[in-house]
Amino acid sequence: MSQTPRTGTRTAVVTGASSGIGRATALRLAAAGHRVIAGARRTDRLAELARTPGIVCVPLDVTDQTSVDRFTEAVDRCDVLVNNAGGAIGTDAVADADIAAWQAMFDVNVLGVLRLTKALLPALIASGDGQVVTIGSIAAREPYRGGGGYNAAKHAVAALTRVLRIELLGAPVRVSQIDPGLVETEFSVNRFAGDTDAAARVYAGMTPLTADDIAEAVTWVVERPAHVNIDSMLVLARDQTSAQVVHRS
Ligand code: 8X3
């Protein structure tokens, strides 16, 4: 069996690539010599990414099966799928849960991962060394006050990812989940519906991770030799030890 590191060109599909961890991952994988197919809803931002050598951009809304089907038709090869698209809506207590917000979180975080994974699994298997790398969250491991729908959705992502790993045992596809803690991206601005002051308070007085820190972890996972499966990875800032325990100066 070959123990050769994965240094050859592979085609990586990255979802949610218009900003944050997705964008940083697309850029890092392209810089490492991989061919990247970047998908996202915000096509104006994709245009900017498309100017980067090695990156092809295709519109993608992971919550829309028609969009996923069109996107998949444009994917001629897929060695790596980075399921990054996702996000949180609000911090309501369960008692005050907004059903529509929960449905939206399940649609993008859980069903989005399912739609892309299901659509690209044949190509991943055909590649002979496929890899699914799903961006989970510390919220996938640890429930926290106000986490409600996001915790439930990310726990579901973790279950789906683990089941996939188990079901693909014996197939040439690796399955990994990378769980970031506090990463300063548009995540919190989106969670607080554009309230930049509320978003800034999430990272106040501490040094959060950057999107590129996670992109570097994804790239490392992708570049392990074919026989090495990094099942899961929790990546936290030094200033964070659990979901709601953060050192702030
Ligand atoms: C984002 C991290 O702590 O806001 O996935 O849930 S957290």
Q: Are 21 and 39 in contact (CB under 8 A)?
A: no
Distance CA 63, CA 3 (A): 38
Mutate to test the pocket of ligand 1, among 187, 189, 202, 241 (most ligand atoms within 8 A of CB): 187
Going residue by residue through the chain, which has 249 residues, state the pLDDT in tens, using 9 for 90 and above: 333 434 468 999 999 999 999 999 999 999 999 999 999 999 888 888 999 999 999 999 999 999 999 999 999 999 999 999 999 999 999 999 999 999 999 999 999 999 999 999 999 999 999 999 999 999 999 999 999 999 999 999 999 999 999 999 999 999 999 999 999 999 999 999 999 999 999 999 999 999 999 999 999 999 999 999 999 999 999 999 999 999 999
Indicate which residue's Cα is closest to atom 5 of ligand 1: 137
If one looks up domain 11-246 in CATH, what number appears?
3.40.50.720
pTM, two decimal places: 0.96
Interval between CA 142 and ligand 1 midpoint (Å): 10
Report the pocket of ligand 1 as residue ranges, CB < 6 Å: 137-139, 181-182, 187, 243
Domains of the chain, residue spans = 11-246
Mutate to test the pocket of ligand 1, among 83, 182, 246 (most ligand atoms within 8 A of CB): 182
CA 156 and chain centroid, separation: 14
